Each structure stands twice: as structure tokens, then as C-alpha cells.
Amino acid sequence: MKMFARAVSLACIAAVPVLAHAQFAKPQDAIRYRQAVMTVMGSHFGRLAPYARGDKPLDAADIQANVALVSAMAKLPWNAFGPGTQTDKVEDSIWSDSAKFKQAADRLQGDVAKLEAAAQSGDQAQLRTAYGAVAASCKACHDSFRKR
């Protein structure tokens, strides 16, 4: 019975990406979700700034905890940019040039993977470089796709 429950829950986890577009009952739910994810990502990314600048002695546990949250968040918002979720805070090119938007999201996730490696390394110079690359990824996408 336990095995069965486990198999079912694993099957559900495996099905999540396929169902992602149907996760939100209303466009407003998707918009709130992606903004909340961005806010959490921004908060935990910001907590890394003093380490990256060299203003705070490296605390490996704190750095790794914040990087893990940035990494988890970096996977989430993209499915919440579904059809019908346009607002005055986002550029229509998210939909008309969706390949470029996806590329920007992939770039972020690639840079966050390097940030995870830097967080493991305990090396300040490596952390600074990786942090800068992620910040540039955030900015590049915002410059192209976010309206203020």
C-alpha cells in the first residue's frame, strides 16, 4: 500500500511540467504567482550582495541557503507567463518572441547553476563573478521584457 502511494505521488510529480499551463484557475492567479516568485528570488539574491561585494565575511551555510532558494525560484515563474496573462508591466514580446524570452530564462538558470558551484567553493572571487553574471541575466531580461 505504501509502495502504491509512493508510486502515485511520484507519477504526480512527473506529470507536473506537462500540466503547468493548467495550474492557474485565473490569469490573475498566474500574474500574482510569477510576481511573488520574482519577489522571493529578488529578496534572497539581494542577501548575497554583501558577500559578493566582500562587505561581509563569508558564511557558507547562509550563502548556500540563499542560493538554494534563488535556484528553486529560478525554475518557477516561466510557466506563469501563459496566454492571456499580459499586463502593463510586461512587454508583449514575451509572447511574440517567446524563443528569446525562453533563452533569457535559460540563461538565468545556467548562471544560477554556476552560482551554486561558487557557493560550494567558498571562494569570494568566484562568488563575486558568479553573482555578477546572475545580476546581468536578471537585468538583460528585465531590459527586454519588463515594463516599469
CB of 92 to ligand HEC, least distance (A): 11
CB of 123 to ligand HEC, least distance (A): 21
Would you call 116 exposed, middle or buried from its count of C-beta atoms within 10 A (0-12, 13-18, 19+)? middle
Does the footprint of ligand HEC cover residue 119 (CB under 6 A)?
A: no
Among the listed residues 67, 118, 127, 134, the single contact to ligand HEC using CB under 6 A: 134
Does the footprint of ligand HEC cover residue 113 (CB under 6 A)?
A: no
| 66 vs 137 by CB, closer to ligand HEC | 137
CB of 79 to ligand HEC, least distance (A): 12
User: Measured between alpha carbons, how far is 111 from 58 in angstroms, rounded to an integer?
Assistant: 20
Site string for ligand HEC, 60-89 (x = CB under 6 A): ---------------------------x-x
Task: Identify the sign of the CA torsion 12, 13, 18, 24.
Answer: positive
Q: Which residues pair with 146 in a beta bridge?
A: 90
Among the listed residues 24, 45, 51, 131, the single contact to ligand HEC using CB under 6 A: 45
Phi, psi of 76 (to 5 degrees): -95, -40
| Residue 146, amino acid | R
Query: Distance between alpha carbon 99 and the CA centroid of its chain, in Å?
Result: 17
Q: CB–CB of 130/115 below 8 Å?
A: yes
CB of 109 to ligand HEC, least distance (A): 9
Residues 6 or more apart in contact with residue 148 via CB below 8 angstroms: 89
List residues near ligand HEC by CB under 6 A: 31, 34-35, 38-39, 41-42, 45, 87, 89-90, 101, 104-105, 108, 134, 137-138, 141-142, 145-146
